[in-house]
Amino acid sequence: MNERLYPITLSPTAYQIPGPTKVESEAPFIEWAYRCSEKDGTTIDKFLIQNELVSAELLYQCLASILHVSFTTDILLIAPSLDGNILLKAEVCPLAEFNQTPSFVIAPTGQNFMALLLSGSLGALTFADENVVLTTPQNFARSIRNQYGGVIAQKAVNKIKHQAPYLSAHTFKGKNVTAFSFLILLFLFLSFAIPTFWQTAIFSLTLFPGVPSIVLKAIALGHSMEQRSSGLILTDRDLPSYTILVPLYREKAIIPQLIDRLKRINYPKAKLEIKILVEMDDIETRLALMMQELPSIFDIVVCPFMDPRTKPRALNIGLAYARGDYIVVYDAEDDPDPDQLKKAATYFYHSHSKLGCVQCRLAIDNMADAWISRMFAFEYAGLFDALLPGMAQGRQPIPLGGTSNHFRRSVLDACFAWDPWNVTEDADLGLRLARLGYETAVIDSTTWEEAPNTLKAWINQRTRWLKGWMQTAMVIARPMGAHGACSSRALKFQIVTISLASITSAMFNPLIVVCITWMIASPVANNSLSPIEWIQWSLVGFIFLFHCVVSFLTLQMGTRRRGWKFYLSDGIGMTLYAVLKCVAAWSALWEFGVSPSHWRKTEHGRSRTSQRGMTTIS
C-alpha cells in the first residue's frame, strides 16, 4: 500500500494522521487538509486525491456513509439519449431504469463535494429515501466515456466544421484543390514558355509578399532587442486550474521519459490534470502506458476511430474532457521548464483579457546529432528566441509553434479550438486568434524538443508543415463570415503577408538565387535584358540581399541568446538548408493536391546527443 495514503473516516471526531509526518501529530487530519486546501486555493477532495494523500475510492466511500447512499466503483450503465458533455459538467446523471425505478449517480467535486460533506456532517441533508448512488469522479467520467465517448468525440472534432466552416480546411478536396494545383502548374508552364512572364512573376512575388514580410521581420527584430522582466510568480492560492494535453501516436519508446518529465512539472497538483491522448488502434503505446505507475492527476483518453487521423483531432477530443481554466499542449518528446505553467499563468494574470495565448520558446536538444538537426536548431533559435518575441511585442500575428502553447480555455472555445483538417494546426490557430481579435505573447520559458536527425524524417516533417501553410493561406483568403473580423486593415494585411511569405519564400527563394547568379555570370543573359528588365532584376537582387541580411541577424540574435556559436560555415549550411526547404515545398504542393489532410508522422525517441542544461537565454 502507498505509505502516503492515510486511512480515514469522515465523522465529527478528530482525526489523527498515523505514522511520522510533517503535520503535527495532534492536528486533526481533516482540519489540516482543509487548511492546506485553503492555502492552495482549492478544495479538500482535490487536495487529498491529487496529492495522493487519500485514495478517491476511500474518500468517496466515506462521503457515501455520511450521506447514507450506496457507493460503487463499477462501470455504470447511463440512461440513453443524453448529452455526455452536459453530464460531465453536471456531475450527476440518471442510470438506466430497471423495474421502472429511476436511479441517479452523483460524483461531486470541488464546491459540490464540500457542500455535500458539510450538509451531511451536520445532518442537514440525507439521501436515505432516494435511489442515489455515489461514485468517484474518475469512475463517473469513465462510465460517461464508455457510453457517450463516440458522440462526444464527434461533436468535438466537427465543431469548427459545423459552426465556422469558412475557418476550416475540411473542404480542401475535389474541385478546390484541383483548381489550385492547376493554377500552379499553369504558372510553371508559362514561366518556361514565356521568359518575360517568369521575370514578371518573380518581380511580383518579391514585391508582395516578399517586401512586406521583410519589413515585418525587421520591425520584429527591433522590438526583440527590448528586454522585459517577467515579474514575480503567483502564489499557489492565486494560480488557476490547468490542463495539459499530450497527444501520442506510436510513441511507446519514449513513454517512460515522457512520464518522468511530466511528473517534474512544478504546479499545485490539486489544480493540475494531465490528459494523455492515445489512439484506439495504437495498442503498443497504450500497453506502454499501462506499464507505468501513473499518479492520480494523469488521465488516459482513448480517441475513437474517425477521420481525419491528425494531431488536432486528438487535441479537440482531449479538450472536451479538460476541466482546467487554462490549457497547454506538449508533444511526446518535450521537456518543458518545470516552472513553465506558473510563469504562463502569472503572465496571463497580469495581462488584459484579449491575451488569448502564451507561446513558450522551443529549443532543440539534439543539435549535435547531425548536420540537419544542427540547421534545425539554428532555425528554431532564430524563430523562437529572436523573431517571435519581437513579433509579439510589436503585436503582430503569431504563427504558433506546435507545442508549449498556453491558452485561456474561454478563448479556445470562442475560436473553435483546433482545425482537425489542417496539418499545421498550430500556425493556423495562431493566425485565427489574431483574425478574431486576440493577441499572443512569447515568454522566456524553454521547452526542449527533438529535431529530425535524418534527411528523410526532416523532409516528411517539413512537407507536412508547408502543406499546412498552404491550407492556412487558402482559409485566410476566404471572407470572415459571421463571427467577426480583424480589428484593422493593417492586421489583415499582416496575416495575409505572414501566411503567403512562408510558402513563397520556401518555394522560390532558391530559384531566385539561381536566376540572379545566371544573369550576373552569363553574357548571353546580360545582352538579352532590356533596361526595364535590368531595373527589375536589380531591385529583386537588392531586396533578396536585404532579406539575407535580416535572416542572418535573426539567426545571430537567436543563437547568441541561446548561448550557441553561429559560424560562417553554418551560414553557408543554411543556404543548402533553404534548397531543402524548396524541395519540401514542391513536395507539399503535390501532396496538397492529392491528399490535403494526410498527416506525415514524425518519429521521436531517436536522438543521440543532448544540449539540455548547457545553455541559457540571455
pLDDT reported for residue 99: 59
pLDDT reported for residue 615: 44
Give 30-53 pLDDT, tens digit per residue: 788 888 899 899 999 999 999 999
Confidence grade of residue 8 (pLDDT, cut at 50, 70, 90): very low
Q: What is the mean pLDDT of the chain?
A: 87
407 forms beta bridges with 327, 357
Mean predicted confidence (pLDDT) in 450-465: 95
Closest-CA residue to 304 (of 314, 312, 295)? 314
Would you say residue 403 has pLDDT above 90? yes
Would you say residue 175 has pLDDT above 70? no
Give the pTM.
Answer: 0.91
Give 213-260 pLDDT, tens digit per residue: 999 999 999 998 776 655 688 999 999 999 999 999 999 999 999 999
Give 518-556 pLDDT, tens digit per residue: 777 776 666 677 788 788 888 888 898 999 999 999 999
Instruction: Tell me the three cell numbers of residue 280.
Output: 484506439
Closest-CA residue to 605 (of 336, 251, 246)? 251
Would you say residue 15 has pLDDT above 80? no
pLDDT reported for residue 217: 93
Instruction: Tell me the three cell numbers of residue 271.
Output: 489544480
Would you say residue 6 has pLDDT above 50? no
What does the H/E/C string look like for 566-594?
CCHHHHHHHHHHHHHHHHHHHHHHHHHHH
Instruction: Tell me the three cell numbers of residue 551.
Output: 535572416
Measured CA to CA, the distance from residue 323 to residue 524 in angstroms comes to 68
Would you say residue 484 has pLDDT above 60? no
Mean predicted confidence (pLDDT) in 508-526: 76
pLDDT reported for residue 229: 57
Q: At residue 474, what are phi and psi to the nearest 5 degrees?
A: -70, -35
Q: At residue 448, what are phi and psi to the nearest 5 degrees?
A: -85, 135
Would you say residue 22 has pLDDT above 70? no
Measured CA to CA, the distance from residue 289 to residue 296 in angstroms comes to 14
Coil, helix or strand at residue 128 = coil
The structural domains of the chain, with segments of one domain joined by +, span 29-157, 172-231+370-400+452-618
Instruction: Tell me the three cell numbers of residue 170.
Output: 475540411
Would you say residue 367 has pLDDT above 80? yes
Dihedral (C-alpha) 29, 30, 32, 38: value to the nearest 10 degrees?
160
pLDDT reported for residue 11: 40
Q: Between vectors from CA 601 to CA 276 and to CA 174, what angle results, nearest 5°?
A: 110
Placement of cell 493554377 in the chain: 183
Contact 458, 375 (CB under 8 A): no
**Phi-psi group of 600: left, alpha or beta (phi > 0 → left; psi -120 to 50 → alpha; rest → beta):** beta
pLDDT reported for residue 583: 94
Lowest-confidence segment of 55-64, 271-280, 529-538 by average pLDDT: 529-538
Radius of gyration in angstroms for the set of CA atoms belonging to the chain, rounded to a whole number? 28
Cis amide prior to 209 (ω within 30 degrees): yes
- Strand order across the beta sheet in which 92-94 lies: 70-71, 132-134, 104-106, 92-94
Contact 261, 336 (CB under 8 A): yes
The DSSP letter of residue 407 is E
Q: At residue 558, what are phi and psi to the nearest 5 degrees?
A: -65, -45
User: Between 265 and 615, where is the model more confident?
Assistant: 265
Confidence grade of residue 576 (pLDDT, cut at 50, 70, 90): very high
Confidence grade of residue 606 (pLDDT, cut at 50, 70, 90): confident
Burial-class residue 272 by CB neighbours within 10 Å (0-12, 13-18, 19+).
buried
| Amino acid type, 52 | E
Confidence grade of residue 169 (pLDDT, cut at 50, 70, 90): very high
Instruction: Tell me the three cell numbers of residue 477.
Output: 483568403
User: Between 126 and 115, where is the model more confident?
Assistant: 115
Give 375-401 pLDDT, tens digit per residue: 999 999 999 999 999 999 999 999 999
Would you say residue 4 has pLDDT above 60? no
Q: Quick one: how far is CA 212 from the chain centroid? A: 28
Mean predicted confidence (pLDDT) in 123-133: 77
pLDDT reported for residue 492: 78
Confidence grade of residue 601 (pLDDT, cut at 50, 70, 90): confident
| Amino acid type, 161 | K
Measured CA to CA, the distance from residue 543 to residue 512 in angstroms comes to 11
| Amino acid type, 41 | G
Measured CA to CA, the distance from residue 374 to residue 366 in angstroms comes to 8
Measured CA to CA, the distance from residue 498 to residue 476 in angstroms comes to 11
Coil, helix or strand at residue 95 = strand
pLDDT reported for residue 48: 94
Give 179-198 pLDDT, tens digit per residue: 766 777 787 778 777 877 77
Closest-CA residue to 37 (of 96, 114, 128)? 114
Instruction: Tell me the three cell numbers of residue 383.
Output: 524563430
Closest-CA residue to 56 (of 134, 155, 128, 164)? 134
Mean predicted confidence (pLDDT) in 79-106: 86
Lowest-confidence segment of 9-18, 80-89, 283-292, 421-430 by average pLDDT: 9-18
